[in-house]
Amino acid sequence: MTEPVIEVVDLRKTYRDGFEALRGIDLDIRRGETFALLGPNGAGKSTTIEILEGYRSRTSGGIRVLGVDPARGGGAWKARLGIVLQETGESPTATVRQLLRHVAGFYPHPRDVDGLIEAVGLSAKASTSVRRLSGGQRRRVDVALGIVGRPDLLFLDEPTTGFDPEVRRQFWDLIRELQSEGTTIVLTTHYLDEAAALSERAAIVVAGRIAARGPIGELGGQDARTPIVRWREGGIRREERAERPGELVARLVGASATEPEDLEVIRPSLEDVYLDLLARETAAA
């Protein structure tokens, strides 16, 4: 097992009005892995990330990020981080290439600027003022700024919002290149296929707590991964989980001598597991 880059024990955040944004978060993220932090809006994902980045204070809990408490992280520590925020401020008048070259100059071993511009799908806009770009194009600039310095640890908060499908896949290729270089990545995204494609492990945050965590293929436990057989019988929609769905389908066909109406076999995806977990957590609240 590789050494942890992020260690979080019983992280809590309570605001002055008494609202508990985080209610005991535990995390360990290993060097070189991509870890997805998933959950609905308001669950506490962004608060957790901002505390890990050193931009927000915590109420209590132990944290080490790259061996340092973020509350005490200095300039040298911050230079090892790459951050792509969910929202950014006003766009500059500099061109895409000028801005990236300027920022690249602050790092000892930056990425090739023109190659990076191509990777985020902005080659045709390299000489255009950032201020004149569309919202989706500015988002790509945000991503490029976050990775131009080859960070040891990269925080990606909803990085592909506004990307069209082709550019989104190009960005995935770039993330895989960063993974191959050993970059540790913390990803928050509402695109569950993105989390499944890029992450080794994930945690699902609900109401300030971690409801589930583990390898992507094991989230939710075995029951949540059991295939679902759905069909219509007498006008009523029915479904049943089955470890061997073929056997259930054979029984249904044998019982009626014809294939049941609207028969389908579904192998739950990460999105299915996620939505089922949220429904159960909401019902239990």
What pLDDT was estimated at residue 89? 62
122-181 residue pLDDT tens: 999 999 999 999 877 888 898 899 999 999 999 998 888 777 888 788 888 888 888 998
The larger pLDDT score, comparing residue 25 to residue 261, is at 25
Q: What is the mean pLDDT of residues 14-22?
A: 94
- Phi, psi (deg, nearest 5) at residue 259: -70, 130
pTM value > 0.85: no
What pLDDT was estimated at residue 255? 73
How many Cβ atoms are within 10 Å of 141's Cβ, its own excluded?
21
Domain boundaries, the chain: 4-218, 221-284
pLDDT band at 184 (very low <50, low <70, confident <90, very high): very high
Q: What is the mean pLDDT of residues 200-227?
A: 88
What pLDDT was estimated at residue 242? 87
What pLDDT was estimated at residue 26? 97
Number of H helices, E strands in the chain: 10, 12
Give the C-alpha separation, 242 to 164, whole Å. Answer: 37
**What percentage of residues in the chain have a pLDDT greater than 90?**
49
What pLDDT was estimated at residue 87? 64
What pLDDT was estimated at residue 119? 84
pLDDT band at 84 (very low <50, low <70, confident <90, very high): confident
CA-wise closest residue to 59 among 29, 20, 27, 26: 20
Range 4-218 has CATH code 3.40.50.300: yes
Q: What is the mean pLDDT of residues 1-15?
A: 90
- Mean pLDDT score of the chain, rounded to an integer? 89
What pLDDT was estimated at residue 44? 92
Q: What is the mean pLDDT of residues 276-283?
A: 80
Q: What is the mean pLDDT of residues 174-196?
A: 90
Q: What is the mean pLDDT of residues 248-269?
A: 82
**What percentage of residues in the chain have a pLDDT greater than 70?**
96
Specify burial of residue 41 (Cβ count, 10 A radius: 0-12, 13-18, 19+).
exposed
Q: Strands of 209-215's sheet, edge to edge?
A: 81-84, 153-157, 184-188, 34-38, 201-206, 209-215
Q: What is the mean pLDDT of residues 249-271?
A: 82
Q: What is the mean pLDDT of residues 235-240?
A: 88
**Lowest pLDDT segment from 20-34, 185-199, 221-235:** 221-235
pLDDT band at 285 (very low <50, low <70, confident <90, very high): low
